[in-house]
């Protein structure tokens, strides 16, 4: 039984055995590639006393050490290279470099850990994200309001249909129309302003941004009318909602997706979901985990039992405190290996996110591994 | 390898007679199109007693009244249509909806359908090529997600085969640029006030000079507001820019963009896509180009089938020059000055902040021109300015410096002035732009 639409049924519903073979084939190719082209990766293989040929299966991958964010930073610092020696393609093949996922207003880490993309990387990420959008029920011709920071490629590179010129984007593939918005607080009234005019079907946002939107739209006392005002300077301000009967339901979203980027991890459990459904009057609410340094995105389906990982693109493990892999259902630290990216893939990236995984086929029919966040 | 191509598109050097012919053909087509497809223009033309067939020349265009942002807002409030009757295609065909910045009031909306986005990206390619952006260059750019310039410029970078790093856009996050200097960009596109904030952050956090981190950047395209030549030189020195600094002027309505070429004598816009008139802000009469007089920029967009703009008054002031440029391009140039709303009257004289800036930047202590004029009355006897000076100015020298600047203002503009020294945070900033005139009369 297959629930809902599936963007790439051949891969998403692929039998487990076949999927495993595909994953291992891509893993082996990836390891050969990073070993050959990147000083950073080669050194790690050497430190562990392994060669790429010795890693044939997913289990063999455990021979390689875990990589933390601190390791990546140290590599940048020590090498003096902007990419920390992680670049696996000639620099002239890069089309995009992404700055690190940091909350823009907090003190920064000493060294930035950046991620780069080639044309092929972008295409692959868009394919993976399109699967997610379709899984969440986004349909062609939907009007999508998309809140994210200007530097997040989730917005400008992967979603806006402005890249139909030889480069894919989710909006372009699905034929969605996009209303871009910023995430910072002064832009909340703007989001409301555009929301009330265009009645978007889908909202991509984060948990705190949604809470801020809600606080603007909920009257101080019940029964009171709502005013939303934006001050653009000391002398100029305007009201986008003037003394009106207005509530979050008035905008009429169908789907809300809460992005969970590294600077703001969150997870929509059943209680939260029911509350958001009630307040906003939406059909469904999803979590979209966004680990952009490894180009990793994962989301739940309408069954809401875990976030689907795309195993043809990633190897996802969960490790305990000693760094040993744990089995299904046990908690530990989420470890992600990117097996598709050409430019700056990270192998065995220890994310610091508490998680567990499940391998059973999901009620939606997808066969890929699902992860559960324990935040 | 052949000879380096000098222009992105051969149309950039189309002889003016042919260009005029092309423009007129497109103008008549878009007027007709707008009349039959947009409820707003239909009514607007009818009210003026104009039929599409009446428009046979550029002179005839003057029969159509100019409309401005307030007309869009009024129409929107009256009809409830978010696009105020300007949208000529089903909303289904629109790829992106972008709000205006809203610095002057409730944001209005502009759209990109596929064709229009392609054309705008093509025009950005011409602009970037003109500013010496080349395949393989690394570009560092800032962007707000919703900003209308983002989609066409990012598409243009891709088409030009450039490698892009995009970052966030707030002066208080300027410290990110200390961080990202390792990218070693060849090309930067950002707002000029933000550059100043970045410079301060670099000095504060690293004790280094900006050129130690960003030296080697070849070209800088600066948007935000027009700026005079001394400041440009100053920027080049501060950031160690080896090629040039190019001013960019743009207006979200009609999507017009005008950028300087290597001659730095005005900003080219593409006349196969836009018709621009300059209007006397008081009489509303059209000022002929090359007359040496400035006025309001009125734009007619010749290509947009999603949302045409016909005689849209941008409320920006500029000169228009059509003489062939030294770079060989035949398309006209705008020399931007300021916003109409920033025009102030001091003892009977009309002054724009840019006039003050041209004087202020002659002093090395205030070369960056970070100041605001306080408008405390419609007719003012005296110019009151809040200004920031360079960090190395000693407090005991402030008074003498203020006196010298005021004397120069008196000499050049013939008005009395008074300067109050403030820090950058003491200046009113909207979306990282300094509000050049702080209207205290409206409080």
Residues of B in contact with A182 (CB under 8 A): 144-146
Give the span between the Cα atoms of B362 and B414, in whole angstroms: 17
Task: Tell me the pLDDT band of A253, cut-offs 50, 70 and 90.
Answer: very high
Residue corresponding to tokens 């110019």: B383
pLDDT (average), residues A344-357: 96
Task: Tell me the pLDDT band of A162, cut-offs 50, 70 and 90.
Answer: low
Q: Are A326 and A318 contacting, i.e. CB atoms less than 8 angstroms apart?
A: yes
Amino acid B171: pLDDT: 60
Q: Are A286 and A300 contacting, i.e. CB atoms less than 8 angstroms apart?
A: yes
Query: How far from each other are the two terminal CA atoms of chain B, in whole angstroms?
Result: 63
Closest approach of B107 to chain A, Cα-based (Å): 8
Residues 6+ apart with CB under 8 A from A146: A155, A159, A178, A179, A180, A181, A204, B145
B169–A150 C-beta distance less than 8 A: yes
A91–B435 C-beta distance less than 8 A: no
Give the span between the Cα atoms of A65 and A86, in whole angstroms: 16
pLDDT (average), residues A285-301: 96
Residue B378 phi/psi, 5-degree rounding, is -65, -50
What three-state secondary structure class fits A298?
strand
B104–A161 C-beta distance less than 8 A: no
Helix, strand, coil content of chain A in percent (nearest 5): 35, 25, 40
Biggest CA-to-CA distance, chain B:
69
Both tokens assigned to A331: 């908690």
* Concatenated DSSP letters of B122-149: HHHHHHHHHTT--TT-EEEEE--TT-TT
Q: Are B117 and B110 contacting, i.e. CB atoms less than 8 angstroms apart?
A: no
B173 touches chain A (CB under 8 A): yes
Q: Are B190 and B141 contacting, i.e. CB atoms less than 8 angstroms apart?
A: yes
Query: How far from each other are the two terminal CA atoms of chain A, in whole angstroms?
Result: 32
B376 touches chain A (CB under 8 A): no
Tell me the whole-structure pTM to 2 decimals: 0.93
Amino acid A122: pLDDT: 93
Torsion of CA A50, A115, A267, A180, to 10 degrees: -160
Residues of B in contact with A236 (CB under 8 A): 103-105, 430
Q: Residue A181's beta-bridge partner residues?
A: A147
- Run of H or E residues at B257: strand B256-260
Give the span between the Cα atoms of A124 and B204, in whole angstroms: 41
* Concatenated DSSP letters of B93-117: GEEEEEE---TTSSPPEEEEEHHHH
Residues of A in contact with B145 (CB under 8 A): 146, 148-150, 155-156, 180-182
Give the span between the Cα atoms of B142 and A176, in whole angstroms: 25
Residue corresponding to tokens 């005021």: B406
Residue among A105, A108, A30 at smallest CA distance from A295: A30
- Average pLDDT over all residues of chain A: 91
Residues of B in contact with A92 (CB under 8 A): 136, 163
Whether the per-residue pLDDT at A337 is higher than 90: the answer is yes
A157–B102 C-beta distance less than 8 A: no
B107 touches chain A (CB under 8 A): yes
Give per-residue pLDDT as tens, B369-405: 889 999 999 889 999 999 999 888 999 999 999 999 9
Give the span between the Cα atoms of B436 and B340, in whole angstroms: 12
Tens-digit pLDDT profile for chain B (443 aa)? 445 778 999 999 999 999 999 999 999 999 999 999 999 999 999 999 999 999 999 999 999 999 999 999 999 989 989 999 999 999 989 999 998 876 667 788 999 999 999 999 999 999 999 999 999 999 999 888 888 998 899 899 989 999 999 987 666 667 788 888 899 999 999 888 788 888 888 888 888 899 999 989 999 999 877 788 888 898 899 999 999 999 999 999 999 999 999 999 999 999 999 999 999 999 999 999 999 999 999 999 999 999 999 999 999 999 999 999 999 999 999 999 888 989 999 988 889 999 999 999 999 999 888 899 999 998 899 999 999 998 889 999 999 999 999 999 999 999 999 999 998 778 887 666 788 998 888 76
Percentage, residues of chain A above pLDDT 70: 95
Amino acid B129: pLDDT: 96
Amino acid B144: pLDDT: 83
Residues of B in contact with A181 (CB under 8 A): 145-146
- Run of H or E residues at A228: strand A226-231
**Considering only A97-101, A327-331, B332-336, which range has the smallest mean pLDDT?**
A97-101
Q: Are B42 and B35 contacting, i.e. CB atoms less than 8 angstroms apart?
A: yes
Amino acid B1: pLDDT: 41
B143–A96 C-beta distance less than 8 A: no
B170–A104 C-beta distance less than 8 A: yes
Give the span between the Cα atoms of B77 and B427, in whole angstroms: 33
A148 vs B105, B145, B183: nearest CB: B145
Q: How many CB atoms lie within 10 A of CB B37?
A: 15
B5 touches chain A (CB under 8 A): no
B97 touches chain A (CB under 8 A): yes
- Run of H or E residues at A117: strand A115-117
B112–A150 C-beta distance less than 8 A: no
A141–B106 C-beta distance less than 8 A: no
Angle at B277 between CA B256 and CA B339, to 5 degrees: 65
Q: Determine which of B110, B166, B426 to mutate to test the interface with A (most A C-beta atoms within 10 Å).
A: B166
B443 vs A157, A230, A235: nearest CB: A235
Residue among A268, A267, A138 at smallest CA distance from A200: A138
Give the span between the Cα atoms of A300 and A308, in whole angstroms: 6
> Would residue A9 be called left, alpha or beta, if left means φ above 0 and alpha means ψ between -120 and 50 degrees?
alpha
Amino acid B169: pLDDT: 66
Instruction: State the burial class of residue A119 (Cβ atoms within 10 Å of its Cβ: 0-12, 13-18, 19+).
Output: middle
Q: Are A152 and A97 contacting, i.e. CB atoms less than 8 angstroms apart?
A: no
B428–A193 C-beta distance less than 8 A: no
Amino acid A100: pLDDT: 84
Amino acid A111: pLDDT: 83
Residues of A in contact with B163 (CB under 8 A): 91-92, 94-97
Closest approach of B23 to chain A, Cα-based (Å): 27
Angle at A296 between CA A290 and CA A299, to 5 degrees: 60
Whether the per-residue pLDDT at A99 is higher than 90: the answer is no
Task: Tell me the pLDDT band of A188, cut-offs 50, 70 and 90.
Answer: confident
Q: How many CB atoms lie within 10 A of CB A21?
A: 12
Residues 6+ apart with CB under 8 A from A291: A101, A261, A262, A297, A336, A349, A351
Whether the per-residue pLDDT at A146 is higher than 90: the answer is yes
Question: What is the DSSP secondary structure assignment for residue B189, as one 8-state letter?
Answer: E
CB-side exposure of A81: number of CA atoms within 13 Å? 14
Give the span between the Cα atoms of B433 and B193, in whole angstroms: 6
B22 touches chain A (CB under 8 A): no
Amino acid A139: pLDDT: 93
Angle at A332 between CA A327 and CA A334, to 5 degrees: 95
B134 touches chain A (CB under 8 A): no
Torsion of CA A317, A319, A324, A328, to 10 degrees: -60
Residues of B in contact with A232 (CB under 8 A): 102-103, 430-431
pLDDT (average), residues A277-301: 96
């Amino acid at each position: 039984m297959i629930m809902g639409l599936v963007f790439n049924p051949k891969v998403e519903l692929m039998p487990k055995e076949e999927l495993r073979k595909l994953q291992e084939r891509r893993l082996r190719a990836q390891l050969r590639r990073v070993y050959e082209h990147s000083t950073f990766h080669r050194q790690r293989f050497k430190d562990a006393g392994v060669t790429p040929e010795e890693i044939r299966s997913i289990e063999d991958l455990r021979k390689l050490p875990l990589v933390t964010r601190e390791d990546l930073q140290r590599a940048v610092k020590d090498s003096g290279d902007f990419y920390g020696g992680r670049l696996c393609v000639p620099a002239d093949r890069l089309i995009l470099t992404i700055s690190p996922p940091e909350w823009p207003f907090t003190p920064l880490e000493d060294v930035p850990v950046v991620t780069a993309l080639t044309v092929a990387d972008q295409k692959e990420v868009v394919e993976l994200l399109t699967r997610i959008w379709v899984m969440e029920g986004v349909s062609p011709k939907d009007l999508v309001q998309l809140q994210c920071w200007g530097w997040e490629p989730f917005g400008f590179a992967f979603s806006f249909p402005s890249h139909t010129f030889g480069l894919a984007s989710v909006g372009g593939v699905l034929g969605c129309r996009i209303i871009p918005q910023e995430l910072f607080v002064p832009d909340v009234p703007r989001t409301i302003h555009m929301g009330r005019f265009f009645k978007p079907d889908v909202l991509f946002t984060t948990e705190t941004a949604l809470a801020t939107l809600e606080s603007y739209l909920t009257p101080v006392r019940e029964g009171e009318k709502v005013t939303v005002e934006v001050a653009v300077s000391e002398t100029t301000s305007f009201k986008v909602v003037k003394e009106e009967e207005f509530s979050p339901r008035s905008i009429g979203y169908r789907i809300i997706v809460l992005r969970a980027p590294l600077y703001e991890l969150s997870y929509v459990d059943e209680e939260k979901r029911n509350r958001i459904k009630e307040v906003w009057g939406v059909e469904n609410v999803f979590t979209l985990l966004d680990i952009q340094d490894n180009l990793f995105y994962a989301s739940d389906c309408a069954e809401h039992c875990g976030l689907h990982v795309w195993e043809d693109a990633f190897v996802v493990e969960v490790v305990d405190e000693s760094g040993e892999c744990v089995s299904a259902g046990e908690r530990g630290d989420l470890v992600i290996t990117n097996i598709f990216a050409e430019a700056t893939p990270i192998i065995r990236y220890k994310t610091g996110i508490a998680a567990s995984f499940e391998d059973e086929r999901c009620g939606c029919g997808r066969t890929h591994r699902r992860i559960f966040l324990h935040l | 390898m052949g000879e380096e191509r000098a222009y992105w598109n051969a149309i950039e050097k189309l002889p003016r007679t042919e260009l005029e012919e092309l423009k007129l053909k497109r103008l008549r087509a878009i007027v007709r199109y707008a009349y039959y497809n947009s409820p707003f223009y239909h009514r607007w033309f009818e009210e003026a007693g104009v039929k599409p067939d009446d428009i046979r020349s550029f002179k005839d265009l003057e029969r159509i009244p100019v409309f401005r942002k307030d007309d869009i807002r009024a129409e929107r409030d009256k009809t409830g249509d978010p696009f105020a009757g300007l949208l000529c295609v089903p909303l289904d065909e629109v790829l992106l909806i972008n709000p205006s910045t809203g610095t002057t009031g409730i944001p209005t909306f502009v759209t990109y359908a596929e064709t229009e986005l392609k054309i705008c990206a093509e025009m950005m390619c011409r602009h970037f090529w003109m500013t010496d952006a080349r395949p393989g260059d690394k570009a560092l750019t800032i962007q707000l997600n919703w900003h209308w310039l983002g989609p066409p410029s990012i598409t243009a970078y891709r088409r030009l085969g450039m490698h892009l790093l995009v970052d966030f856009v707030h002066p208080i996050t300027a410290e990110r640029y200390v961080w990202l200097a390792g990218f070693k960009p060849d090309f930067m596109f950002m707002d000029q006030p933000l550059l100043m904030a970045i410079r301060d952050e670099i000095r504060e956090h690293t004790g280094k000079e900006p050129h130690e981190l960003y030296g080697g950047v070849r070209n800088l395209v600066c948007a935000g507001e027009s700026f005079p030549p001394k400041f440009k030189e100053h920027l080049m020195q501060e950031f160690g820019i080896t090629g040039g600094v190019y001013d960019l002027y743009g207006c979200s309505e009609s999507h017009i963009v005008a950028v300087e070429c290597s001659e730095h004598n005005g900003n080219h816009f593409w006349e196969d896509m836009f018709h621009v008139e300059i209007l006397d802000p008081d009489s509303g009469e059209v000022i002929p180009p090359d007359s040496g007089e400035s006025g309001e920029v009125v734009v007619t967009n010749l290509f947009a089938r999603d949302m045409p703009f016909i005689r849209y008054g941008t409320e920006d002031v500029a000169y228009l020059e059509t003489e062939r440029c030294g770079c060989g391009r035949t398309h006209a140039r705008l020399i931007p000055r300021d916003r109409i709303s920033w025009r102030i009257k001091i003892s009977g004289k009309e002054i724009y902040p840019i006039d003050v800036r041209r004087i202020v930047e002659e002093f090395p202590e205030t070369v960056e021109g970070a100041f605001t004029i306080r408008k405390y009355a419609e007719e003012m006897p005296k110019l009151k300015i809040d200004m920031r000076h360079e960090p190395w100015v000693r407090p005991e020298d402030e008074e003498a410096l203020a006196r010298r600047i005021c004397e120069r203002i008196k000499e050049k503009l013939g008005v009395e002035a008074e300067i109050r020294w403030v820090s950058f945070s003491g200046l009113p900033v909207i979306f990282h732009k300094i509000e050049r005139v702080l209207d205290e009369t409206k409080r």
